[in-house]
Every structure is written in C-alpha cells, then in structure tokens.
Amino acid sequence: MLLDCFYGCSGITQITSNLTIPPTIYNNSFYGVNKNIPVYVPCEYVGAYLNVQYWKPSDGGFTNYQCAVQVEPSSNSAVVTFPVIDNAETYTLLIFGDENHTDIIQELRLDANGNIIGKQMLSCTVSGLEASSQYYYSLTPYNADEYMITVFAGDFATTAATFVPVTNITNVPTIAVAGVSLTLKGTVIPSNATNQTILWSVKDAGTTGVNINGNEFLALSKGTAVVTATIPNGSEIGEDYAKDFNIIVSNVGIDNITSPQIVIFPNPTNGQLRIENYGIVVEDYSIFSPIGQLIMQGKLHNEATTISVSTLEKGIYYLKIADKTLKFVKQ
C-alpha cells in the first residue's frame, strides 16, 4: 500500500511498477507530482491501472501509462523495447526457456551512455530463438555502482516459421560401380527450404540388384537403377516432395569386350594416362570418383590420347568411355 510517501515529490520524472495488481493509493499519495510523467507498468495490465481509483486519469491520476517492456517476436528472434531508467548505466537482459527462470537461453549486457541520452525507449533484438516457442525474460537496469535499480519480467511466444517449400533436388550421383558402396546425397533447392532431410528408396532396381541402407547405395551387377529422393513435408505440411533419379551401374574394371579393345596405361599412374582406343575415331570420356562424382571430362581423338591426371588426389578412379568403364589408380 502506498500512502503519502511521494507527497510533494515534484522532482519525480518517471514511475515504474512491476505489480500486476495496482497498489492501493490515496488521493494525495502523489500530491504535487506531475501527472503527465511516464508511468511504466506491465503491458498487459495497463488497462488495470487505468481503471483503479486514484490511478486512473478521471480521479486525478496519471495520464501517461506506457508498457514497461514491449516484445515483438518473430519466428526466430524478438525485438525487446524498454524504457530508459533514471540513473541506469547498464541493462542486463536475460531470456529464459522456462517460467521458473532457471534455463538461460541468452544473456545480453546493454550499455546506457552517450548515444541513448534523451531517449525514452531502448531496443535490442534477441536472435537464435526457435519458432513457435514460449520464452520468458527479465530486464535489470543497474546504476554506476552496479546496484540493481529495478527488474522487469514477462514472457512472450515466437511466431510460427514461414514455410519455404522444396522446388528441386540437384547434384545427385548418376553413376555407380557394382560391388562398391555409393553415398547418395543431393542439394536441396532453395537452400533455405524449411525441411531438407532426404530419404532414399529404390523405385526400380532393374538388373542391378541394388539395395539402399540409409543413404548407402550398393548394386550387385551392371544396369540402370531408379532411385527416389523424398523430403517429408517438403512441398507443404502434409505433402512430401519426391523426385526420381537414374543411376547407371557399371562393372569394376574393363568389361569383357572383343572389339574395339580399350587399353589404358600406365596403371597405376603418377600423372599421365595413355588411352588407346583402336577403332574409335572420336569419343567422349569422363573420370569419376568411387562415389560417382564427376571429376573431369574431355574428348578422345584418333586412336590414342594422353591425358594428365596429375591434379587428382591419390586413389581409385573410373574412366568411362561410351558404355565401358575402366578402373585406374592414381599414385
């Protein structure tokens, strides 16, 4: 209860109350105090102060009620606006994940000098929050001696995140080798799609005898397999995004062929790879990593061509010419 402790205090420039129930006062409790000074009260209880005897303007009470702390949340951040407190040098803003104020999500220390002189409200943005979540805050101003002046506390909820649908999946491997595990992966378009987890499945194994375990693709023999990449709730909530991809499976090493006979040497190689392809005038060639990533490509001319693979890391690679796949080792 406030009696006449502020009687005649004409020097008061602002009042802050954290009470959700306006305290009882008399008609002379704030006698002589300017009734137009800002009175900061919990936002949701401004109406309560405006309707309580001697607090309300019609009883000669205050006329300039303002929210002590205003929070404008989005899906992953919140803008916190609060009043400048007389004699405050610093402010500490705590964001909690629980109502008991034990789980601190973020702590911000705000300086209150120079650039804020004359302002009535300050503002800061708290980022890194989760969408559609409840949070609690406390805001504490301190004076120059690090003594707490008051404490503002409340809660807010972040809004639901804006759903961004998947429009495409690219960069999925298109070649595999029988008996060699291939890690399936892809690039989700757009990069900020809300859901991006890809689930892989076999749509048509063909002659490959392929099996997918998680994102590992393992075929037993050559052929073409069709796999499906599915992103749950990718198109919209309740509707998956799915796209099919063809993966060509070749046998390890040189296929059994009679003509033309393709020869590569030296194998292993330190930098130069000689390709002799008798009977083939012009053919494209491609070099793939063991996981099916295209490393380099070019054209073969006449019956023999030497290409440089000196920039490749040490390891096993696959040279593909037409429907033939040859394995070589870079030392």
Residue 24 lies in a domain: no
pLDDT per position as a tens digit, 308-322: 999 988 878 888 887
Q: Which pLDDT does position 253 carry in this prediction? A: 43
Q: Which pLDDT does position 255 carry in this prediction? A: 39
**CB contact at 8 A, 272 and 306:** yes
> Which of 68-77, 110-119, 160-169, 255-264 bottoms out in mean pLDDT, i.e. has the lowest?
110-119
Query: Are residues 203 and 182 part of one domain?
Result: yes
Q: Which pLDDT does position 5 carry in this prediction? A: 58
Q: Which pLDDT does position 70 carry in this prediction? A: 80
User: What is the rounded distance in angstroms from the CA atom of residue 289 to the CA atom of residue 268?
Assistant: 15
Band of residue 258 on the pLDDT scale cut at 50, 70, 90? very low
Query: Are residues 148 and 85 part of one domain?
Result: yes
Band of residue 264 on the pLDDT scale cut at 50, 70, 90? confident
**CB contact at 8 A, 200 and 227:** yes
Q: What is the dihedral of CA 112, 118, 120, 126, to 10 degrees?
A: -30
Q: Which pLDDT does position 275 carry in this prediction? A: 86
Which of 125, 157, 189 is where one domain is finished?
Answer: 157
The CATH number of residue 275's host domain is 2.60.40.10
Query: Are residues 152 and 73 part of one domain?
Result: yes
Beta-carbon contacts of 170 under 8 Å, excluding residues fewer than 6 positions away, are 186, 187, 189
Which of 157, 177, 200 is where one domain is finished?
Answer: 157
Percentage with pLDDT > 90 across the chain: 22
Q: Which tokens hold the place of 105?
A: 């999500």
Which of 134, 157, 180 is where one domain is finished?
Answer: 157
Question: Among 281, 283, 312, 282, which Cα is nearest to 296's?
Answer: 312
Residue 62 lies in a domain: no
Query: Over 90: is that where the pLDDT of 263 sits?
Result: no
Query: Are residues 139 and 86 part of one domain?
Result: yes
pTM: predicted TM-score of the whole model, two decimal places = 0.43
User: What is the rounded distance in angstroms from the CA atom of residue 17 to the CA atom of residue 152?
Assistant: 9
Number of domains the chain contains = 3
Residue given tokens 């020869």 in the structure block: 263
Element (H, E) at 40: strand 39-41
What is the number of other CB atoms lying within 10 angstroms of the CB of residue 108?
14
User: What is the rounded distance in angstroms from the CA atom of residue 34 to the CA atom of residue 30?
Assistant: 8
State the residue range of the domain holding 74. Answer: 69-157
Residue given tokens 């062929």 in the structure block: 257
pLDDT per position as a tens digit, 81-119: 887 777 788 888 888 888 888 888 888 777 654 333 334
User: What is the rounded distance in angstroms from the CA atom of residue 9 to the CA atom of residue 28?
Assistant: 11
Residue 275 lies in a domain: yes
* CA atoms in the 13 A half-sphere facing the CB of 159: 11
The CATH number of residue 93's host domain is 2.60.40.380
Residue 306 lies in a domain: yes
61-65, 67-71, 215-219, 314-318 — most confident range = 215-219
Band of residue 282 on the pLDDT scale cut at 50, 70, 90? low
Query: Are residues 242 and 191 part of one domain?
Result: yes
Query: Are residues 192 and 131 part of one domain?
Result: no
Percentage with pLDDT > 70 across the chain: 89
Residue 128 lies in a domain: yes
pLDDT per position as a tens digit, 196-235: 999 999 999 999 999 999 999 999 888 999 999 999 999 9
Residue 9 lies in a domain: no
With H, G, I as helix, E, B as strand and everything else as coil, classify residue 49: helix
> Which of 7-21, 41-55, 76-90, 311-325 bottoms out in mean pLDDT, i.e. has the lowest?
7-21
Q: Which pLDDT does position 112 carry in this prediction? A: 57
User: What is the rounded distance in angstroms from the CA atom of residue 295 to the CA atom of residue 267?
Assistant: 18
Residue 47 lies in a domain: no
Query: Over 80: is that where the pLDDT of 1 sits?
Result: no
- Kindly report the backbone phi and psi dihedral angles of residue 49, in degrees, each rounded to the nearest multiple of 5, phi listed first: -70, -30
- Kindly report the backbone phi and psi dihedral angles of residue 290, in degrees, each rounded to the nearest multiple of 5, phi listed first: -60, -20
User: What is the rounded distance in angstroms from the CA atom of residue 56 to the CA atom of residue 150?
Assistant: 23
Residue 255 lies in a domain: no
Q: Which pLDDT does position 301 carry in this prediction? A: 75
Q: Which pLDDT does position 231 carry in this prediction? A: 96
Element (H, E) at 275: strand 272-277
The CATH number of residue 204's host domain is 2.60.40.1080
**CB contact at 8 A, 142 and 110:** no
Q: What's 303's DSSP letter?
A: T
